[in-house]
């Protein structure tokens, strides 16, 4: 069994955690079982940023991926659930279906909460995610966002502005979950109703009254989704730092789509009516093509580099990464005004690719509880987890972060 070791060589179960050093906000304990290259890991987390360093293939990103499963969806690698199961276990035990589990203790304003998730199967054998909150099964993955929000920047997201709009919508929706926990329930319900309508339209024989009711639900939730995203994107624009010499680029960001355009000059209730009418008019088309022609599932999150006067997708790879970090940093400032539930920010392999100036500003802004001079601020609302192969990239955080060395799925506490 591979276990996290602290520097004295003991296994830091929660009973060994000094309560004074427990984070005010975020994870205080993380347990992994049969998750990727970890057979069993039990990790206690102290206050302040958590830095994972170690060679390629050690298991750093896997830890971040496990944390990302404490939010709705398929994790930061967007993967089929069974692929996450530890391969060694799979090969040893071919009689039972793949399984894995994660448990976390999360410190919130309301006290500690135990979150659990793992791979489970429906009666018909389909994979699904089991979610437990304080030991009780939760009704949906969306329930997680009432307790914690998890956002991330990974090397795969270097292409966020070049990839499909669905990835950008997911990115924005995660930010909205952090500020408005009802949003994920709304998105979940919207998708459910859309699938149900699409199924009925495809079959061809349906009760028009029921389809009209579904369209009304879609319009109500759809408009609410657009409004919530719009508010967050507007806050991001307003929260960006504008002073001279700030190293991250200034940006213009907006959500675009039909419903967004209608809302520019009509009140929400009128847009709901218009949207319902449009859905009714496109039944035949939607029945043939599937999905729905209009709605927030077709919106896009568009970002412009102001100094370059270019849309993000035309900027260089490096500029796109800086834009993404600028948006993420703006989000950390927006979140300070909300304080809903703890937000965990996962930065996979980000620090190593920044120059000294960008890195220092990034650390100053995100390391909340340990804000580096000269910036003073309230205690952080975030828990930040960062990875890298090079320990020296994090030297500005010496003495202020929990450093963990990862080697072959074993974590060792360092300085
Ligand atoms: N299902 C799995 N079972 C066992 N090992 C896995 C599984 N999936 C990925 N791995 C292994 O996990 C290792 C660590 O991956 P990762 O966390 O991405 O490393 P890094 O420290 O470079 O971020 C890789 O060597 C990979 O092959
Ligand atoms: Mg990695």
Report how far ligand 1's centroid is from the alpha carbon of 37 (Å).
Answer: 5
Residue whose CA is at the smallest distance from ligand 1 atom 27: 57
3-state DSSP of the chain? CCCCECCCCCCCCHHHCCHHHCCCCEEEEEEEEEECCEEEEEEECCCCCEEEECCCCCCHHHHHHHHHCCCCCCCCCCCCHHHHECHHHHHHCCCCCCCCEEEEEEEECCEEEEEEEEEEECCCCCEEEEEEECCEECCCHHHHHHCCEEEEECHHHHHCCCCCHHHHHHHHHHHHHHHCCHHHHHHHHHHHHHHHHHHHHHHCCCCHHHHHHHHHHHHHHHHHHHHHHHHHHHHHHHHCCCCCCCCCCCEEEEEECHHHHHHHHCCHHHHHHHHHHHHHHCHHHHHHHCCCCCCHHHCEEEEEECCCCEEHHHCCHHHHHHHHHHHHHHHHHHHHCCCCCCEEEEECCCHHHCCHHHHHHHHHHHCHHHCCCCCCCCCCCEEEEEEECCHHHHHHHCCCCEEEEEECCEEEECC
Ligand that comes closest to the CA of residue 350 = 2
Ordered by where they begin, the domains of the chain are 1-143+343-415 (3.40.50.300), 149-340 (1.20.1050.90)
Ligand that comes closest to the CA of residue 84 = 1
User: pLDDT tens, position by position, for the chain (415 residues)?
Assistant: 334 443 333 343 444 456 567 788 899 999 999 999 999 999 999 988 999 999 999 999 999 999 999 999 999 999 999 999 999 888 887 888 889 999 999 998 888 999 999 999 999 989 999 999 999 999 889 899 999 999 999 999 999 999 999 999 999 999 999 888 899 999 999 999 999 999 999 998 899 999 999 999 999 999 999 999 999 999 999 999 988 999 999 999 999 999 999 999 999 999 999 999 999 999 999 999 999 999 999 999 999 999 999 999 999 999 999 999 999 999 988 887 776 688 999 999 998 889 999 999 999 888 754 444 434 444 446 899 999 999 999 999 988 899 999 999 999 988 5
Residue whose CA is at the smallest distance from ligand 1 atom 18: 61
Report how far ligand 1's centroid is from the alpha carbon of 103 (Å).
Answer: 19
Report how far ligand 1's centroid is from the alpha carbon of 258 (Å).
Answer: 42
pTM: 0.91
């Amino acid at each position: 069994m591979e276990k996290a070791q602290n520097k004295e060589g003991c296994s830091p179960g929660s009973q060994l955690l000094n309560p004074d050093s427990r984070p005010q906000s975020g994870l205080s304990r993380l347990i992994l079982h049969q998750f990727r290259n970890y057979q069993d890991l039990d990790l206690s987390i102290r206050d302040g940023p958590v830095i994972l360093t170690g060679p390629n293939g050690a298991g750093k990103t896997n830890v971040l991926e496990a944390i990302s499963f404490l939010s709705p969806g398929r994790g930061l690698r967007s993967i089929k659930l069974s692929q996450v199961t530890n391969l060694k276990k799979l090969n040893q035990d071919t009689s039972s279906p793949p399984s894995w589990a994660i448990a976390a203790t999360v410190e919130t304003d309301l006290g500690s909460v135990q979150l659990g998730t793992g791979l489970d199967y429906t009666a018909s054998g389909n994979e699904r995610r089991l979610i437990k909150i304080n030991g009780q099964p939760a009704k949906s993955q969306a329930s997680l966002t009432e307790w914690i929000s998890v956002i991330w920047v990974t090397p795969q997201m270097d292409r966020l502005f070049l990839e499909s709009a669905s990835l950008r919508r997911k990115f924005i929706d995660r930010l909205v979950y952090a500020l408005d926990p009802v949003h994920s329930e709304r998105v979940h319900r919207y998708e459910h109703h859309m699938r149900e309508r699409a199924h009925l339209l495809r079959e061809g024989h349906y009760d028009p009254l029921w389809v009209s009711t579904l369209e009304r639900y879609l319009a109500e939730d759809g408009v609410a989704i657009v409004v919530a995203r719009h508010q967050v994107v507007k806050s991001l624009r307003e929260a960006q730092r504008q002073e001279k010499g700030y190293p991250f680029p200034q940006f213009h960001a907006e959500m675009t789509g039909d419903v967004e355009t209608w809302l520019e000059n009509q009140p929400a209730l009128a847009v709901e009516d218009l949207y319902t009418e449009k859905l009714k008019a496109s039944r035949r088309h939607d029945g043939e093509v599937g999905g729905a022609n209009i709605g927030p599932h077709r919106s896009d999150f568009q970002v412009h580099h102001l100094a370059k006067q270019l849309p993000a997708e035309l900027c260089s790879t490096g500029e796109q990464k800086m834009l993404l970090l600028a948006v993420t940093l703006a989000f950390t400032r927006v979140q300070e005004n909300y304080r809903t539930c703890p937000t965990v920010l996962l930065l996979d392999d980000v620090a190593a690719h920044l120059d000294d100036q960008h890195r220092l500003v990034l650390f100053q802004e995100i390391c909340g509880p340990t804000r580096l001079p000269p910036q003073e601020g309230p205690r952080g609302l975030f828990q930040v987890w960062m990875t890298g192969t090079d320990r020296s990239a994090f030297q500005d955080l010496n003495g202020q972060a929990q450093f963990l060395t990862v080697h072959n799925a074993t974590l060792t506490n360092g300085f």
